[in-house]
Amino acid sequence: MRLGLHLSISKGLGNVAATAEKLGCEAFQIFIGNPRGWGRKPLDVSDVREFQKQVKRSVLGPVAVHLSYLPNPAADDEDLYEKSIIAMGEDYRRAVEIGADYFVVHPGKAGNQSLERAISKVAMGMKTILSTVKGKTIFLLENQAGGGREIAGRISELGMILKEVNCPERTGICLDTCHAFVAGYDLRCQQGLNQLLTEIQETVGLSRMPLLHLNDALGALGSHLDRHANIGEGQIGLKGFRLLLSDQRTSQLAGVLETPKVSADDDRRNLAILRQLLRGGGK
Ligand SMILES: [Zn+2]
Ligand SMILES: [Zn+2]
């Protein structure tokens, strides 16, 4: 498994690859604009060129872009839905522009709609974007914690969306371990992990899951609490991550940490723990 971090581009897109290397990443993920804002200034062309040059020169990859927090591509409210699909299309276009391998999206909240209606809305939005923005960047839907009418706490719901989108070459899923655990998949035992991977295989296909978000969970199993914890300090614990990382079915994937960055050392420590688990240590 290739491991990496979610990194900030606040010091410029042109600097992020150097930061990734300095922190010991093999892969990395970024937001491609202010994650808490709707507005997007055009990307600086020389910044994009510098980014691409640096990524090419390094051995970094895959590179993922995560959609910002505000869009809800399942939104009940028509205005918010339109705004969300436009914003999602714009961030996807930017991911294509910089040459990212993956674009990761949370499918959002159903609000007062039925699950079926919410699923159709996400699928319609994705179809529009994929037909208007051509590119090699694979569109990945991420499983969610499933609280407060969030869709895709169950992996099968991601499968339902992707089935409607019907574009297997350009779409897939990203599995977030924290979200899966608090949604009720018990990653601490082999049986729970098998159940999860079997559901992915049967509803999406494991070959369509190239990326993991490796986050421990502050909340309990089934709590739907979306709060990430450092590896080994949450409810999944080292045992759960050891099971996942030593599983043959995940060996070819990339895994990115989205853990809290409280002290400067947190990222390095989380990466080091995962690398130790990959080598079969950390018992
Ligand atoms: Zn995530
Ligand atoms: Zn989360």
pLDDT confidence of residue 280: 86
Contact criterion met (CB below 8 Å) for 98 and 66: no
- CA dihedral sign, ordered 10, 16, 20, 22: negative
Q: Is residue 116 part of a domain?
A: yes
Range of the structural domain that residue 227 is part of:
2-278
Kindly give the distance from the C-alpha atom of residue 49 to the centroid of ligand 2, in angstroms, as a whole number. Answer: 31
Tens of pLDDT, residues 207-247: 999 999 999 999 999 999 999 999 999 999 999 999 999 99
Domain count, the chain: 1
> What is the CATH number for 180?
3.20.20.150
Burial of residue 221 (CB within 10 Å: 0-12, 13-18, 19+) is middle
pLDDT confidence of residue 114: 97
Report d(CA 88, CA 70) in Å as an integer. 10
Tens of pLDDT, residues 137-162: 999 999 999 999 999 999 999 999 99
Kindly give the distance from the C-alpha atom of residue 67 to the centroid of ligand 1, in angstroms, as a whole number. Answer: 11
Please give the C-alpha separations between residue 223 and each of 142, 151, 227, in angstroms, as whole numbers: 18, 15, 10
pLDDT confidence of residue 283: 52
Q: Which residues surround ligand 1, an ion (CB under 5 A)?
A: 176, 213
Q: Is residue 54 part of a domain?
A: yes
Please give the mean pLDDT across all residues of the chain: 96
Kindly give the distance from the C-alpha atom of residue 256 to the centroid of ligand 1, in angstroms, as a whole number. Answer: 9
Q: Is residue 226 part of a domain?
A: yes
pLDDT confidence of residue 189: 98
Could you give the 3-state DSSP secondary structure of residue 41? Answer: coil
> What single letter denotes the amino acid at residue 181?
F
Q: Is residue 283 part of a domain?
A: no
Q: Is residue 232 part of a domain?
A: yes
Report d(CA 17, CA 74) in Å as an integer. 33
Q: For residue 226, which ligand has an atom nearest its CA? A: 2
pLDDT confidence of residue 71: 97
- Report residue 277's pLDDT band, with 50, 70 and 90 as the boundaries: very high
Kindly give the distance from the C-alpha atom of residue 176 to the centroid of ligand 1, in angstroms, as a whole number. Answer: 5
Tens of pLDDT, residues 43-85: 999 999 999 999 999 999 999 999 999 999 999 999 999 999 9
Q: Is residue 273 part of a domain?
A: yes
Please give the C-alpha separations between residue 193 and each of 46, 63, 177, 216, 241, in angstroms, as whole numbers: 45, 26, 10, 15, 10
Contact criterion met (CB below 8 Å) for 108 and 161: no
pLDDT confidence of residue 264: 79
Q: Is residue 145 part of a domain?
A: yes
pLDDT confidence of residue 263: 84
pLDDT confidence of residue 191: 98
Tens of pLDDT, residues 105-123: 999 999 999 999 999 999 9
> Is the confidence at residue 204, as pLDDT, over 60?
yes
pLDDT confidence of residue 282: 57
Q: For residue 146, which ligand has an atom nearest its CA? A: 2
Tens of pLDDT, residues 10-25: 989 999 999 999 999 9
Kindly give the distance from the C-alpha atom of residue 229 to the centroid of ligand 1, in angstroms, as a whole number. Answer: 12
